[in-house]
Amino acid sequence: MKFTKMHGCGNDYVYVNCFQETVEHPEEVSRRISDRHFGIGADGLILIKPSEKADFEMDMYNADGSSGAMCGNGIRCVAKYVYDYGLTDQTSISVDTKSGVKYLDLMVKDGRVEQVRVNMGAPELTASRIPVLSEAEQVIGRPVEIGGEEYRYTAVSMGNPHAVVFVEETDCLELEKIGPLFEHYSGFPDRINTEFVKVLDDRTVQMRVWERGSGETLACGTGACAVAVAAVLNGVVKGNQVTVKLLGGTLQVEWDREKNLVFMTGPAAVVFDGEINL
C-alpha cells in the first residue's frame, strides 16, 4: 500500500489515495499502521476517496480502529494532499465526511498549500444529539464526578463528541489517567474526546486533548473548535475569535454567531511518502 504520512499541528495520520489504492478492512489496517513500534506510527488512518456528493471524501479511523465522523486536522491535510499531489487545481474545495460536506479554502505559497481554512459547520449543543446523558437540554459548565473528582464540563459536537473542561493548569495533568476515565464514563454513550483548557488571556487558550480511540494527541482540530465554542459560551474570552494553542501548534478559530458557523484555520504538512506490505 502506497501512503503519505502527514500532520496538522502534530496530529499525524497515514493518508491513502483511494483513487489508486483499495484498502480492505481499514479498521484493522489503522490499528496496524498506527502502532509507533511495530507500524508506521500515527494517530490513525485517513482514506481519500472519490465522492458523488463533493469533490472528495474523507474516511477516517482512529488508532484503535474505530471510525471518526470528522477530523479537523485531517481534513486540512486532505486539502493539502489533493492539491499538492495534483488531484485538483482548485483552491476552494468540498470534502464529504460522515458528518456532512465541509468547504475548505487553501492558502497556497510557491505552489504548495501551507494553511487551510475550513468551514466546520454549526456546533451541536443539544445533549441528546452529541450524545451526552443529561437532564438539561444543553451542558454548559455543568458539574460531573469522574474518578472521584468533580469537574465542570461543556459538551459540544463538531460532528464528533467533545467534553471541554476549563482548568487552572494543563502541564501537570495526569492525562493518561484522567483521559480514559472521561472517554469511558457512563454518561457518554458513544465515548468522548476531552479537552482540558487553560485560559491565557481574553483571546487565547491553551489545551491538551485526550482523543477517543487514539489517546493523548498533540492536537485536535474539532477539539479546538469545541474549545472555542465552549470558551465563548462560558464567557472566558471576549469576542468570537479564539487562538487555540495545542502541544503541536496553534489554530485560529472563529465562531460566526450570526450564521452559527465555526471556521478553523491552520497548517498542514507532509512528513514522508512510503510503501508498506500489509
Ligand X SMILES: N[C@@H](CCC[C@H](N)C(=O)O)C(=O)O
Active site (catalytic) residues: 71, 220
Whether 119 has a binding-site annotation, put simply, is: no
**Binding region for ligand X (CB under 6 A) out of 127-135, 145-153, 195-203, 219-227:** 219-227
Positions 134 through 193 that interact with ligand X (CB under 6 A) = 160, 193
Exposed, middle or buried by CB within 10 Å (0-12, 13-18, 19+), for 93? buried
| Angle formed at CA 191 by CA 153 and CA 32, multiple of 5 degrees | 130
Q: How far is CA 239 from CA 141, 231, 234, 271, in A?
A: 19, 10, 12, 36
Whether 74 has a binding-site annotation, put simply, is: no
CA dist 223 and 73 (Å) reads: 10
Residue the block writes with cell 460531573: 144
Whether 193 has a binding-site annotation, put simply, is: yes
Q: Is 221 in the site for ligand X (CB under 6 A)?
A: yes
Nearer to ligand X, 170 or 193 (CB): 193
Assign 264 to helix, strand or coil: strand
Alpha helix positions (H), the chain: 26-34, 72-84, 175-183, 221-233
Positions 70 through 109 that interact with ligand X (CB under 6 A) = 71-74
Q: How far is the CB of 249 from ligand X (least distance, A)?
A: 11
Nearer to ligand X, 4 or 73 (CB): 73
Query: Residue ranges for the binding site for substrate?
Result: 11, 62, 72-73, 160, 193, 211-212, 221-222
Binding site residues, ligand X, CB under 6 A: 11, 62, 68, 71-74, 160, 193, 211-214, 217, 220-223
